[in-house]
Structure 1
Amino acid sequence: MKLSLGPLQYFWPRERVLSFYRDAADWPLDVIYLGETICGKRRELRARDWLHLADELAASGKQVVLSTLALIEAESELGAVQRLVENGRFLLEANDLSAVQLCRERSLPFVGGPTLNIYNHRALQLLIEDGLMRWVPGVEQGRELLEDIQAGMDALNAPMPELEMLVWGRLPLAYSARCFTARALDVPKDQCGFRCIEHPDGLPLATREGEPFMVINGVQIQGMEIVDMAPERDELSACGVRILRLSPQHSGMADVVARFRDMLTTSQPLARIGACNGYWNGGPGKASLAI
């Protein structure tokens, strides 16, 4: 199995982003995803900056993949995706069907990101015909669904693509054309002042009773808990998962990467230090957090 560093979900200052990825060049990772996937207004780094970073990371021996927005709302955002598609050097993670279409028109292979709606083997097969060569299932897609899709692909005598699964980080739960952060801070979306940069791991929300509830991150809602699927390593492998995705966090990421790399070199089961992903076992995502 391999380790990947998923795209940065949060909005950090430019120098923090650059220093983070220059550190990541020395981490024991196989794949690094770069690019803005949440909000097209976040422009601390432009396409040329991501491409320059990609060159640096590729020189360190990493496979680099450029990730696209999950929700495209404007022609300018579509144009930015097109520039990434036409980079000529790096594989693309398509998180929207617009990106899929751009890759298909150019006969380019791509990674199917977790925000593509793939829930059965026929949808997966159609996207494979379009060029999908690696698939990152959505966080709500668990073991039973993967087994069903595998059975469906077997019935078609069609091979599964390479599978990658999020195994560390907060679960992305929803996206909206509205900005949750702006709404929480009572400012208009178009005059947000990029306030999400003040919350490097998202803005935590609580219920009226004061219990931790969820995290808002611009137009994205995340679960509150840091999910840790290290104990499910063998189950993931049995389902055909070959790449384990770690979602970036503001601090302690080097230790997270080292822990998962150690996990891949031992046959012993690992204790869980984060939360369970209830979706994996067919329940609510927040289920069984005490296990």
Structure 2
Amino acid sequence: MQLTLGPVLFAWERPQLLDFYAEMASQPLDVIYLGETVCSKRRALSLDDWLGLARDLREACKAEIVLSGLTLLEAASELSSLRRLCENGELMVEANDLGAVQFLAAKGVGFVGGAALNIYNGHALAELTACGLQRWVPPVECSAELIRQARGQYLELVDVAPLPQIEVFAYGHLPLAYSARCFTARALNKPKDDCEICCQNYPEGMAVLSQEGAPLFTLNGIQTMSASVHNLLADYPSLQASGVDLLRLSPRVQGMAEVIAAFDAVRQGALPPLAVQGCNGYWHGRPGMLRAEELGVC
């Protein structure tokens, strides 16, 4: 399976972003996603900056570079920016909103269907494939069984077209939901229209605890994420058996080189660990915040 580096989901400042990708250029990655997917107010890098970074990375490494678009569009200006991204003319685009699908389908170019498109079955997959979808990123709550069923249903519906590649979110805080309200600004008593990009003070999101003090969620601007880090390294054999083609590793502030090395070692033949820290319940069709060994399904 190929290893992909998902777009940075958190609000990192420009020097941190550039330093991070300079380090990632030397990693054994097959695909690198670039771009802002959470909030249009985060302008540490403009679209021109992302394109320039993409050109630099293409010279520095062999990985395919993909541009990721916004997930939740809320203004006409964001739609205009999305159109420009879809018409970049150089790089494949990850569509995280149906507006992007419309732009890309009208141009007749292939695209990656991001998890936020909410494709859960073979019928929807076939519909989007007809629009140009070439790679499917299932919603993060999809289990191995659901992906196998969607894959089989698609193959029954479509006789000629090849099955799109399947890319599973395999590591990182799970992006669970998006809202028009900025929860980080709300927590700090700031209005969304004058938030001062306060999420930059939380490079891995703001932790939310239950009344008992247990980790519950991670707030990242308008995005609600899992408290625990999702990790499917121990599930590598079942990922292979489910027909998964690519594993997405979502960037974190520290330790990404070690994470990539661990996944790379397993795909090169090393035995996967029996268990890992974090959560993997969704993959086993159980509550996502739990580990499979806690559920007795390992």
TM-score relative to the length of structure 1: 0.97
Which of 257, 281, 284 aligns to 2:284? It is 281
Q: Give the 3-state SS of the residue equivalent to 2:115 in structure 1.
A: coil
Q: Which runs of 5+ in 2 are unaligned?
A: none
Alpha-carbon deviation of 1:154? 2.4
* Letter paired with 2:72: L
* Letter paired with 1:201: E
Distance in 2 of aligned mates of 1:260 and 1:192: 37
Distance in 1 of aligned mates of 2:288 and 2:254: 24
* Letter paired with 1:177: A
Which of 242, 246, 249 aligns to 2:245? It is 242
Which shifted more, 31-40 or 270-279? 270-279
Which shifted more, 263-272 or 178-187? 263-272
Distance in 2 of aligned mates of 1:196 and 1:83: 26
Contact 1:275 1:289 in 2 (8 A): no
* Letter paired with 1:61: K
Distance in 1 of aligned mates of 2:205 and 2:26: 26
1:145 corresponds in structure 2 to 146
TM-superposition CA deviations, 1:125-172 (whole Å, max 9, x none): 010000000001010111111111122122224432101011110111
* Letter paired with 1:198: N
* Letter paired with 2:11: F
* Letter paired with 1:131: G
2:264 corresponds in structure 1 to 261
Between the aligned residues of both structures, percent identity stands at: 46
Number of residues of Structure 1 aligned to a counterpart in Structure 2: 291
Q: Which runs of 5+ in 1 are unaligned?
A: none
User: Residues 76-87 of structure 1: matches in 2 within 5 Å?
Assistant: 76-87=77-88
Alpha-carbon deviation of 1:283? 1.3
Contact 1:229 1:272 in 2 (8 A): no
Distance in 1 of aligned mates of 2:16 and 2:267: 29
1:41 corresponds in structure 2 to 41
- RMSD over aligned CA atoms reads 1.2
Which shifted more, 263-272 or 128-137? 263-272
Distance in 2 of aligned mates of 1:277 and 1:99: 30
Distance in 1 of aligned mates of 2:272 and 2:212: 37
Cα 1:119–1:281 shift into 2, 3 Å: same
TM-superposition CA deviations, 1:219-264 (whole Å, max 9, x none): 0000110111011111111111111100000111111111111111
Alpha-carbon deviation of 1:271? 3.6
2:92 corresponds in structure 1 to 91
Alpha-carbon deviation of 1:288? 3.4
1:180 corresponds in structure 2 to 183
1:126 corresponds in structure 2 to 127
Runs of 4+ in structure 1 deviating by more than 4 angstroms, as ranges, are none
